[in-house]
Amino acid sequence: MTGEIIFLDPNQVKINFFGRVISINNQQINHILFGQKEKFDFSFPAKEQRIVMLNLRNGDRITGRLLSFQSGMFLLQTRYSPNIEVSISALNSINFFGQEQMLSMRAEGLVAYYPLDGNANNAAGNKFNGRVSGAVPTEDRFGRPDSAYLFRTNSDYISCGDIPVTDSMTLEARIYPTSLDFDAAAGTFLEKGSCTLASRSGYILMMGGSSLPASIVFGISNDSGTQGTFITNGAIESLNRWYHVVVVVDAEHKNVRMYVNGELRHTEAWDYPRNRVPGSSVFIGRESEESYSKRRFIGKIDDVRIYDRALSDEEVLAYHYMDIQN
């Protein structure tokens, strides 16, 4: 993550960082902290002092003076120990207490981010603002009004423009399905191109219909439209609850991975050049082609993200736990 923050009053600032400790002095501690979100309290009582407190899952607490911070690496000086290096992943959730001005804050590789807070603007700072048709604002998973969108009919969708795709990418969304009655084979909540058949192009994220009831399905095709695959194992437990869905297309490791609520559900080999489907818009809430418009999603959708890189297992897990804590 990159960003710049200006503090207007350094004497009255406290910051809570949310992430996950992955090492202390180069010693891996995943066995202690795996799957947990850690909280780091940064207090600024005076300009020359920056006191940091790390509360670890095993009950330990590390307190010291912050000497430096860059790219997820802390250098601390404590009372009882020499300098301690602490590496932390996924520092993209920050709460501020005091007077501050955030100038910029952008996760690496984030091409499009739709918070869906009363509009479909792209909060990643690029173009590709969405156009809302039919869908209406609703409560999000924290009960905040006008902070997600509700999709009910074939006419409810958001068109986001021709967002470019790359050989590696990550798709992420929060979904709240309220019905599996799609009037067709599936309930699509994110698509570019048309990947309902292997001979088509692009990618699709959807709820399975009659053939895969209550399952999350991802489809992808190659650049010539001659090879395609569908992966699932993303079964949901019940309707009327929120699910965090992430699909990673990893060109380096030659696979596609599906996660539901931070858990890796399926890995499929994939080693084909991607079809970039230029000229096709990304659709949220239904399939893009009019002939398939009945394959729409029924329920709420929130926080749609598209990255031009493959997120790691640790990032997906950390984002899920941070999101639970708002």
> What are the tens digits of pLDDT across the range 258-315?
999 888 999 998 876 665 677 788 999 988 765 565 678 999 999 999 999 998 887 7
Which has more confidence, 161 or 102? 161
**CATH 2.60.120.200 domain extents, the chain:** 110-324
Prediction pTM value:
0.68
pLDDT tens profile 74-111: 566 555 455 656 655 444 434 444 443 433 334 678 89
CA distance 311 to 326: 20
State the chain's mean pLDDT as an integer.
Answer: 72
Fold of 110-324: Jelly Rolls (2.60.120)
Q: Is the Cα torsion angle 303, 304, 306, 311 positive or negative in sign?
A: positive
Over 60: is that where the pLDDT of 18 sits? Answer: no
- Whole-number percent of the chain with pLDDT over 70: 54
Q: Tell me the three state secondary structure of residue 32.
A: helix
pLDDT at 262: 86
CA distance 102 to 224: 44
Residues 6+ apart with CB under 8 A from 15: 41, 42, 44, 94, 95, 96, 97
Q: Tell me the three state secondary structure of residue 97.
A: strand
